[in-house]
Amino acid sequence: MSWRHQDAATLADAAVSSVALVADPFAQSAAPGFWVWSRDAHRAVTDAVLALPDDSIRTLAETVGKDPADITACRRLTALLDDRLTRAAGEPGTERLAALVWEAETRSRLRMQTGTERPAGLGTPAAEEILRTSRPPAKPKGPVDAALVIPFRERGEEGDRTRNLAAVLHALNDQSHPRDRYRVVVVEADSRPRWESVYAPWCDTYLFAENDGPFNYSWTINAGVVHGARPAELICVLEADILVDRGFVERAVERFRVPGTQAHWPFEDMLYLDAASSHQAVTERCLEGRSAVDRDALRGVFLRRTPGACVWLRESLFSRIGGYDERFTAGWGGADNDFTWRADLHGGLDRYRDRMVHLHHPRATDWYDAEGAGAGAYETFPWCTWPPDSEIGDLAKFAQSPSQHSQPPQQPR
């Protein structure tokens, strides 16, 4: 199979995606590893677009290069490239462009979505403003079908991350599945419970997990399952920036009614929204009370087949494979890959095509080294060698002794 099996409109859209990716730091930072592995292919497409003997195409490509969020320019450039790929299919420059676009499509895990013109005047709503319109949690005491575990840390001022968790909780309290049949667990891992007063009233279980060191994503999740989710039959690990639709829980529970089903990702490709589209999504889903966001209208970058963000599995499978590997002690990335590989090996991991979105927040400059552990930390990590040598999710694992609490805090390195 080659680019000749693709229609001109598809190739044109992918070409503009490459032009925008090359110019957009936001899109590159959504997954720096994925960007580094494919950037040469996207740059080759951009160079081929600029090399076409068409002043209108070149001018628009330069405009997108200066402002990749210019939706009008992106759409006009797509239309011109579609026309050229149709009319001048046999010309060398056009043939070369089509071949390079297909090469980028077959090796890249990133794809831009242009979206549509945004409503005017959208801003970032505060967490308390979002939660003010939320339904209250059920606080179920008896058996539930599922428990959703959300790991969280924010040491700065209120901003995108705190807004995101508020929107996630709002959406989870607005589900078609009976609210007393699932439990929402928020786990804040930090030196002190900074955000308990904001979020605890809006989840079924708020768990503080003391850890003054680098954010340990795996341990935080394990603690949430052990001390908040059990004995639910089904577990969902949901990151604190994934905005779900109203049928999210109900669909997942129904999928586990099929015999032999042990785990699944509910999505195939996750759309990572830019800042403006995140404001729009939160406004639609939470403040306007819509059942789902209009994903096609939003601007962002797709991460294809990403292993993180959200995974559902039976609690029995989670326990059988020892939860997440707590030796992933710093940074982001890696722990999800390791966990889902083991879950797939032991239980089988299905994939569905729910239309999910990731809300924007500032990204670490190095996807694999957010806490400064060193660029090679994951290259030498012993993947898939867990199980644990002690109880998982031990809340005292990172807790300081009373004498340590009395010592003055260390200065950042």
pLDDT at 365: 47
Nearest by Cα to 74 from 52, 53, 49: 49
In this prediction, residue 409 has a pLDDT band, given cuts at 50, 70 and 90, of very low
199-222 pLDDT per residue, tens: 999 999 999 999 999 999 999 999
In this prediction, residue 147 has a pLDDT band, given cuts at 50, 70 and 90, of very high
In this prediction, residue 370 has a pLDDT band, given cuts at 50, 70 and 90, of very low
Q: State phi, psi for 284 to the nearest 5 degrees.
A: -65, -50
φ/ψ region of 183 (left if φ > 0, alpha if ψ in -120 to 50, else beta) reads beta
pLDDT at 331: 56
In this prediction, residue 410 has a pLDDT band, given cuts at 50, 70 and 90, of very low
Contacts within 8 Å (CB) and 24+ apart, 368-377: 368/32, 368/33, 368/331, 368/332, 368/333, 368/334, 369/330, 369/331, 370/215, 370/330, 370/331, 370/332, 371/214, 371/215, 371/330, 371/331, 372/330, 372/413, 373/214, 373/329, 373/330, 373/331, 377/330, 377/331
Using the predicted structure, report yes or no on whether residue 124 has a pLDDT greater than 90: no
Respond yes or no on whether the N-terminal peptide bond of residue 231 is cis (omega within 30° of 0).
yes
Strand residues in 48-194 grouped as ranges (E) = 110-113, 146-152, 182-190
**178 close to 213: Cβ distance less than 8 angstroms:** no
Higher pLDDT, 201 or 90: 201
**192 close to 172: Cβ distance less than 8 angstroms:** no
Strand residues in 282-374 grouped as ranges (E) = 300-304, 310-314, 350-351, 357-358
DSSP state of 411: P
**Percent share of the chain, pLDDT over 70:** 91
Using the predicted structure, report yes or no on whether residue 286 has a pLDDT greater than 60: yes
Beta bridge partner(s), residue 184: 148
Domains and CATH numbers, the chain: 8-113 (no CATH), 127-390 (3.90.550.10)
Mean pLDDT of 340-351: 96
pLDDT at 3: 56
pLDDT at 5: 63
Higher pLDDT, 141 or 81: 81
In this prediction, residue 294 has a pLDDT band, given cuts at 50, 70 and 90, of very high
Higher pLDDT, 413 or 60: 60
H or E stretch covering 273: strand 269-273
Mean pLDDT of 161-178: 98
- Looking at every residue in the chain, the average pLDDT score rounds to 91
Mean pLDDT of 387-411: 74
**152 close to 188: Cβ distance less than 8 angstroms:** yes
pLDDT at 412: 36
